[in-house]
Amino acid sequence: MKTGLAFEFPATEGIKYAGSKLKLLPHILQLAHKVKPKSVFDGFAGTTRVSQAFAQIGYKVISNDISVWSKVFGLCYLKNKKDKNYYREIINHLNALPEKDGWFTENYGGLPNGKNSSETDGFKKPWQIQNTRKLDAIREEIDCLNLDEVEKSVVLTSLILALDQVDSTLGHYAAYLNEWSPRSFNKLKLKVPRLFESEKEHEVFSGDIFKTIENVKTDLAYFDPPYGSNNEKMPPSRVRYSAYYHLWTTIVLNDKPEVFGKAKRRNDTSDTLASSVFEEFRKNGSEKFIAVEAIEKLLAKTQAKHIILSYSSGGRATAENLYEILEQAGKIIDVQKVNYRQNVMAAMRSTNDWIREAEKPNQEYLFLIEK
Ligand SMILES: C[S@@+](CC[C@H](N)C(=O)[O-])C[C@H]1O[C@@H](n2cnc3c(N)ncnc32)[C@H](O)[C@@H]1O
């Protein structure tokens, strides 16, 4: 990949993910390079692609996310010390297991012939039955292999990446396609993840950012929180991470939870139980967006000299609100707007520039702030 960067652009690996920063990576790395950090905190790590890139450049990385499966990815890429070959045998063994009917097949496996709806319950399914049968066999076996936490994370990451390759979804698990996607006919096949060596001792946290932040001190913090739509008439336009990716949680925990609805989401991902404050689209009593207020608190509590904040535009009001709190948090050194189509990053000349621009939906901004 040609990027014009001052360093080699590292490859990363991850699932399809709403808000994944894969395309923004070169720009994030370039901004980080400006302040030459030794340590970086990736507070909303998601797929961990940003963490993987930071680690390969040579920074010490601390990753965190509220999702348990993100921790698994973090342990796999940031904590593993073993060679790829060590895992080859385990992965071959798992790929060779005979198919088996189990909990995943019962809930998420559909018949490949005809329409994507199972004969058992009439609901659409995210995977074809031959692949959920593989999943049932492999997931059960993983618990019997006597692996340590990092080894198990490498193998679970491999399983999730493989399932992501044969899904019949639009990239999330809140609804499934009417017709089988072409890739869902492919056979589930695990590969050893793209492991790399790190000189630095990285750390992986899993939990609410406000808890983790108390214990993390770094030179730079990168924050990519979810952004709720500020259109109060359209709350469903929100991306709700725990609901969208419930299946990765269930595969990691293997806890056969109670499920509900057509997509068979875990009960603990219902709207009342699992909403992140950053996904909140409403205002509080003093007319401030609750999500923006959470970012204000986040910036104030961050123990890092520099912060890079990702922001996806969602309307003028939020942008104005956000600008106020960014100014209070410190000095805005740089604002970059990323145009996905042209894959260019433009420096914003004035504050009004970006507030005006932020009225347009789906624009990506990066703010570099010095505290
Ligand atoms: C926009 S995504 C991050 C994407 C990530 N940068 C990537 O490239 O994959 C936002 C992430 O914030 C996480 N999240 C939501 N609320 C959180 C909270 N209170 N504390 C920590 N993480 C949270 C979600 O699980 C989600 O992975």
Q: How far is the CA of 356 from the centre of ligand 1 (A)?
A: 26
How large is the average pLDDT for residues 130-157?
A: 98
Looking at ligand 1, which atom is closest to the CA of residue 21?
8
For residue 42, give the ligand 1 atom closest to its CA.
6
Q: How much is the pLDDT for 125?
A: 95
Mean predicted confidence (pLDDT) in 129-137: 97
- Residue 335 β-bridge partners: 367
What atom in ligand 1 is closest to the CA of residue 49? 8
Lowest mean pLDDT among 80-89, 205-214, 329-338: 329-338
- Please tell me the distance between residue 242's alpha carbon and the centre of ligand 1 in angstroms: 10
Please give the average per-residue pLDDT across 38-55, as a whole number.
98
What is the average pLDDT score of the chain? 88
The arithmetic mean of pLDDT across residues 189-216, rounded, is 97
Per-residue confidence (pLDDT) for residue 146, from 0 to 100: 96
User: Would you state the pLDDT for residue 145?
Assistant: 98
246-255, 336-345, 357-366: range with lowest mean pLDDT: 336-345
Q: 215-245, pLDDT tens digit by residue?
A: 999 999 999 998 755 444 444 345 688 889 9
3-state SS string for 23-34: CCHHHHHHHHHH
Average pLDDT estimate for 201-214: 97
Distance between Cα 117 and ligand 1 center (Å): 32
Residue 66 CA, ligand 1 centroid: distance in Å? 7
Q: How far apart are CA 12 and CA 77, in angstroms?
A: 10
Ligand 1 centroid distance, CA of 48 (Å)? 10
**Which residue type, as a one-letter code, is found at position 114?**
G
CB atoms within 10 A of CB 210: 13
State yes or no: pLDDT of 34 exceeds 80.
yes
- Name every protein residue with a CB atom under 6 angstroms from any ligand 1 atom: 17, 19-21, 44-47, 49-50, 65-67, 70, 208-209, 224-226, 241, 276, 278
Percent of the chain with pLDDT over 70: 85
309 vs 348, which has greater pLDDT?
309
pLDDT digits (tens, 9 = 90+) for 280-313: 777 788 777 788 889 999 999 999 999 999 987 6
Contacts for 258-264: CB closer than 8 Å, 24+ residues apart: 259/107, 262/123, 262/124, 262/175, 263/173, 263/174, 263/175, 263/176, 264/107, 264/108, 264/123
What is residue 290's predicted lDDT score, i.e. its pLDDT?
82
Assess whether pLDDT exceeds 70 at residue 142.
yes
Mean pLDDT value across residues 353-370: 78
Q: What is the mean pLDDT of residues 250-269?
A: 95
Q: Is the pLDDT of residue 315 over 60?
A: no
Element (H, E) at 312: strand 303-312
Take atom 18 of ligand 1 and give the residue whose Cα is closest.
Answer: 208
Q: Distance, CA 279 to ligand 1 centroid (Å)? A: 10
Instruction: Give the pLDDT confidence score for residue 237 in this predicted structure.
Output: 40
Q: Which of 16, 22, 44, 61 to mutate for ligand 1's pocket (most ligand atoms within 8 Å of CB)?
A: 44
Contact 103, 166 (CB under 8 A): no
Check residue 270 and report its DSSP letter.
Answer: S
Residue 18 has pLDDT above 50, yes or no: yes
- Please, what are the domains in the chain? 25-80+196-240+275-370 (3.40.50.150)
Global pTM value? 0.93
Separation of alpha carbons 131 and 116, rounded Å = 14
Q: Which of 23, 241, 298 to mutate to test the pocket of ligand 1 (most atoms within 8 A of CB)?
A: 241
What pLDDT does residue 320 have? 77
Calculate the CA dihedral of residues 53, 42, 223, 57 and round it to 10 degrees: -30
Q: Give the model's pLDDT for residue 236.
A: 39
**Å from CA of 86 to ligand 1 middle:** 31
